[in-house]
Structure 1
Amino acid sequence: MNITILGPGAVGSLWACYLQKAGHNVSLWTRRTTPSELSLTLNTQENSSYSFSCDNKESLIHCDLLFITVKAWQVESALLPILPLLSQETILLFMHNGMGAIDAIENQISHHPILQATTTHGALKENAHTVKHTGFGHTVVGPFNSLGNQCQFIQDVLQHSLPSTEWNSDIQTALWKKLAINCAINPLTAIYQCQNGELSQPSRHQDVNRICHEVHQVLQQEQIQWTEAELLSTVYQVISATSANYSSMNRDCFYQRKTEIDFITGYLLQKAKQHAISTPINETLYNQIKQLEENLL
């Protein structure tokens, strides 16, 4: 396939390398001034290097799959300017933290097959030319619209490139579960500037538990079949499995960048308001992160 990665950060660069390794024709589209060719080294046991064309309009014109890995708040500004170059048959695959970013532009992109994906693969961009695969995980992909329903073969493309990948026709449930976990981990680790593992300390349990209690009330109203005990168990499993990691929101605050809080806790608060659910703990965390952003940016 002709595949373009829109936003070759850590996750985008990781997939670019694996997709090219699997035999696909992969190019990159960036917002920075980059050379027409970019070499990326995939930091694994093999340490393989791959070369990609950058910001090539011909690549967009002939693109079969646009892999969108920019941050949620960048989706609109990154995608809309290049839409006129894309064929109506080009598949749009969104892979980012949080929810709600597609809703704002849905009318402008509805003629494309649209897919959403979430992954637990770990990636770290060590420098402009090196991406490290920090942990193998699992990817779930599914349709956002009816045209996306016809693109189940993308699961095979991703599975062949970077296992394991599953197709889930109810991708919204998978995204809600990921959002719930992010609500519990990301703001706290950003505020305390700690690794994920610190949230397993007894002194942090009350924070995590209270967040999850509020989140679960919203999940129930959104018809997500997940008990509060299952949510808590999964959150603590993720904290344990990623104990040495820093969350993306932690890193964004550390490097004084805009966070995805509006599309994680902010999205939860929107839905809570629609359902008339009180979420004071999550509101406090949201306001703290927004205050941090104002002070840092």
Structure 2
Amino acid sequence: MHLHVLGLGPIGCLLAHNLRRILPPPHTITLIHKKLYDLQQFSWHGKSIRVERAGVASASKGFLEEIHHREPPPDQKGQGVVEPETSHIESVFVALKAHHTVRALTALRPRLNANSTIVLFNNGMGVHDELLSDVFRNPTQCPHFIIASNTHGAFVKDPYRIIHAGVGSIDFSIAPDVQGRDYEAGLHDDTLPPENRRLRLSDISSPGDPDALRYKSLREAMAALLLLEDLNVSWKSVGEMHQIVRRKLAVNAVINPLTAILSCRNGDLFQHPFAVEILDKVCAETSMVYDAQLRDAWMRELEINPEEMEPPTLPEALTAESLKEEVRRVAAVTQGNISSMLQDVRRGRKTEIDYINGYLQNSARRLGVETPVNSTLLNLVKLKYVMPVDQFM
């Protein structure tokens, strides 16, 4: 198998490091550096990724490399752009900020086809939908997608030197197949007792499959993910994953903007009743959006008149009370952390707010739900980006 890793920040390096350690040498891992300077830095660091976890360091080598943005050498400036890499990409693990993902994959589009697999590690929601509507518009040429949710905490000490500060987990599921293959057949296999029904690689593809080439990269990418036991991986059904990413979105929609606006650590937030009131309102609004999404999907999929049949009940995990408990839990577990959004604001970088609170606002408007507090947080973070309030401090 040949895997590419796009996005070599802390999570991308953590993934690449662990993939290289569990896959034997015949399997290839290519690191896609953003530019030539990044590739040079990797060489200066011995062409290795070093990860420190609980005070114990380990290193991985044996990567192939390429450059995403290929520029001519300094002595050839003005003589045109260096030709980009054109080889086919079987599978690519994407660990970029949400707002960089679509542009980066658009550049790789000529190297991806229906036999390719894209594994998305993003904060927020909406990236997958954006890729389908803007980049992979033809369903017959659309790659497979694996949606992953990561809760590991890591930061960069030096280039390609990562501190794995918080051990979390990685949940993932396969987006439904455009050709109708049931990747979750094992969950409703009547030949097995209920306790033995589980998700199976054989439902992706098995020996004798006439479409084996089409599903080869997907099966291999899933097999590689399942081997990452040190990262506490878990293959989830699409239904389970819907809840997981929505609970994480609710957490990010509260903690990220508030810490970015107030310049505080996660654990400082809910010591004050004012922040608790915002927490309550954002979670209530978020839960209403999820309920409206569920009803809308139910009506469109089954073409049912809601007046003729009772709509489904919102899962307990997505109720306002459950979301509030999850936000408080994460804030407590990560109390000493500085959120990624606050880090971006401090560095003058664009944040992922459009794929967190912005996603909720857009969904709410489409479904006729009012989310005034969420929208206010969205606008305040955007204001802080264009007009930092601490610029004279």
Q: TM-score, normalised by structure 1?
A: 0.92
Structure with the bigger percentage of strand: 1
Written as runs of structure 1 = structure 2, the 5 A alignment for 1:8-47 is 8-23=8-23, 24-33=27-36, 34-35=38-39, 37=43, 38-44=47-53, 45-47=55-57
Find the partner of 1:54 among 56, 62, 65: 65
1:265 to 347, 357, 361: 357
Q: Which residue of 2 aligns with 1:220?
A: 291
> Residues 155 and 163 from structure 1, CA distance in 2 versus in 1: closer, same or farther, beyond 3 angstroms?
farther
Residue 102 of structure 1 deviates from its aligned partner by 2.4
Shift of the 71–60 alpha-carbon distance from structure 1 to 2, 3 Å rule, reads: farther
Matches of residues 90-169 of structure 1 in structure 2 within 5 Å? Answer: 90-107=116-133, 108-109=135-136, 110=139, 111-146=142-177, 149=183, 150=204, 151=218, 154-161=221-228, 162-169=230-237
Residues 154 and 81 of structure 1, relative CA distance in 2, 3 Å threshold? closer
Unmatched 5+ stretches in structure 1: none
Q: Which of these two proteins has the greater Rg computed from alpha carbons? A: 2
Verify the 8 A CA contact 1:27 1:53 in the aligned structure 2. Answer: yes
Give 1:154 deviation, angstroms: 4.2
2:260 is aligned to: 190
2:7 maps to which residue? 7
Cα distance change of structure 1 residues 48 and 182 upon mapping to structure 2, 3 Å threshold:
same
TM-score norm. by structure 2 comes to 0.70
1:166-210 deviation line (CA, Å, top 9, x unaligned): 222223332222111110111001101111101231332112122
Aligned residues: 297
Specify which of 314, 319, 322 is matched with residue 230 of structure 1: 322
- Looking at structure 2, the residues matched to 220 and 104 of structure 1 have their Cα atoms a distance apart, in angstroms, of 22
Corresponding residue SS for 1:102: helix
Asked whether the equivalents of residues 86 and 110 of structure 2 are also in contact (C-alpha less than 8 Å), the reply is no
Q: CA deviation at 1:87?
A: 5.0
Q: Equivalents in 2 of 1:144, 1:267: separation in Å?
A: 19
- What residue in structure 2 maps to residue 242 of structure 1? 334
Read off the aligned partner of 1:6 and give its amino acid letter: L
Hey, what does 2:311 align to over in structure 1? none
Q: Distance in 2 between matches of 1:64 and 1:193?
A: 42
Say what the alpha-carbon RMSD is for the aligned residues: 2.3
Which deviates further from its counterpart, 53-62 or 277-286? Answer: 53-62
Percentage identity across aligned positions? 28
Kindly indicate whether the alpha-carbon contact (under 8 Å) linking 1:2 and 1:59 is maintained by their aligned counterparts in 2.
no
Deviations 1:28-58 (A, max 9, x none): 1122223365422111243112233321699
CA contact (8 A) 1:8 1:30 kept: yes
1:252-287: CA deviation from partner (whole Å, max 9, x where unpaired)? 101111000000000000111112111111111101
